[in-house]
């Protein structure tokens, strides 16, 4: 019995040296997210919103199957939505168009397909992407009666932003992110190192947030415009309004669109000839995202003519 008491006292003495001989207390599990930064360009654009769609990302890794691609696109939708600078078109709508046109709805879509699907939905840009790398590894250390373990998830996400009008890829980027889960045990008590699926989302988010602001900047760098949806008598109906943030009283220049200019090399539309025909002013809203305008000067436009903000030209 005396020998047993000595063992207990010795253990307690060792505990004082390591942990103050405190009671057996579990070490809490913690998550740490590491973001590898890239140069960010802050978007100072405050005008009307663009229409943007984000397609489910393609998972090129052997990990997580389709789950990772869907999670990555959901995260990007959330981050872009928080900016308040876009009308984000529901993923179901873009999927339906892609299915109707026999297009694949994964992240691997060629620019010509993007143009066709995007124009049908009146989009300004479509963001596609892929998870090119994803891995999980375990590590840790044992110190007599204290164990420390950690699980690390690492992700690399690649994105492409396609301008719907021209089909040109206007921005590409690659982000790397890492999420770490730490666990610990003291005298066999505490949390064990088990994989937590929230690590996937944390690693993907840490990769995506670093280029979100750059996406906002690149999409909004191109001057905002809308189209004439209909002309009845002296009323000019526009396909942008309250939801787009087009303010009442805004003046717009009208342009009649002519022939498409197509690149002889890529076959993509470079642009269209434009002829200025007048100026209009937004008078009222119609529907969820439409507006009614009146002529200020010039000649009445036709359905499909282009409207541009005056203060940007």
- Give the mean pLDDT of 210-221: 91
Average pLDDT, the chain: 78
Q: Which residue has the higher pLDDT, 74 or 39?
A: 74
Q: Which residue has the higher pLDDT, 11 or 159?
A: 159
Scanning 36-121, the segments in alpha helix (DSSP H) are 65-83, 91-100, 111-120
The predicted-structure confidence for 221-252, as pLDDT tens digits, reads as follows 888 999 999 999 999 999 999 999 999 999 99
DSSP three-state, residue 269? strand
Does 15 score more than 50 pLDDT? Answer: no
How far lies 4's CA from each of 1, 12, 17, 269, 287, in Å? 5, 12, 20, 86, 83
CB neighbour list of residue 164: distance below 8 Å, 6 or more residues apart: 114, 115, 118, 119, 123, 124, 125, 126
Q: pLDDT band at residue 92, thresholds of 50, 70 and 90?
A: confident
Q: pLDDT band at residue 14, thresholds of 50, 70 and 90?
A: very low
Q: For 14-28, 47-61, 281-295, which range has the lowest pLDDT when averaged over its residues?
A: 14-28
Scanning 106-167, the segments in alpha helix (DSSP H) are 111-120
What pLDDT was estimated at residue 16?
35
The size of the chain, in residues, is 313
Domains of the chain are 29-221 (3.40.50.10610), 225-312 (2.40.10.410)
Q: Are 159 and 128 in contact (CB under 8 A)?
A: yes
d(CA 253, CA 266) in angstroms, rounded, equals 31
- Give the mean pLDDT of 9-38: 41
Does 263 score more than 80 pLDDT? Answer: yes
What pLDDT was estimated at residue 13?
42
The predicted-structure confidence for 266-277, as pLDDT tens digits, reads as follows 777 777 899 999
The predicted-structure confidence for 281-301, as pLDDT tens digits, reads as follows 999 999 999 999 999 999 999
Q: Which residue has the higher pLDDT, 189 or 27?
A: 189
């Amino acid at each position: 019995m005396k020998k047993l008491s000595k063992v207990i006292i010795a253990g307690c003495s060792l505990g004082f040296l390591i942990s103050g001989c405190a009671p057996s207390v579990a070490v809490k599990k913690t998550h740490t997210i590491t973001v590898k930064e890239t140069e960010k360009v802050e978007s100072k654009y405050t005008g009307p919103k663009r229409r943007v769609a984000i397609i489910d990302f393609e998972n090129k890794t052997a990990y997580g199957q389709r789950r990772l691609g869907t999670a990555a696109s959901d995260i990007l939708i959330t981050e872009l939505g928080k900016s308040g600078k876009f009308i984000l078109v529901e993923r179901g709508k873009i999927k339906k168009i892609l299915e109707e046109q026999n297009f694949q709805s994964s992240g691997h879509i060629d620019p010509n397909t993007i143009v066709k699907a995007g124009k049908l939905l009146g989009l300004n840009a479509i963001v596609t992407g892929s998870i090119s790398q994803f891995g999980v590894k375990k590590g840790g250390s044992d110190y007599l009666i204290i164990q420390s373990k950690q699980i690390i998830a690492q992700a690399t996400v690649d994105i492409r932003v396609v301008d719907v009008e021209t089909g040109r890829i206007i921005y590409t980027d690659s982000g790397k992110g890492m999420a770490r889960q730490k666990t610990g045990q003291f005298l066999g008590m505490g949390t064990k190192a088990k994989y937590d699926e929230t690590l996937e989302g944390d690693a993907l988010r840490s990769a995506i947030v670093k280029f979100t602001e750059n996406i906002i900047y690149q999409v909004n760098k191109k001057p905002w415009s809308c189209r004439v949806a209909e002309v009845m008598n002296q009323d000019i109906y526009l396909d942008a309004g309250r939801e787009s943030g087009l303010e009442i009283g805004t003046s717009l220049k009208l342009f009649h669109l002519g022939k498409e200019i197509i690149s002889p090399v890529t076959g993509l539309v470079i642009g269209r000839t434009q002829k200025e025909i007048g100026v209009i002013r937004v008078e009222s809203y119609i529907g969820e995202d439409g507006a009614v305008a009146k002529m200020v000067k010039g000649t009445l436009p036709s359905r499909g003519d282009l409207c541009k903000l005056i203060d940007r030209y």
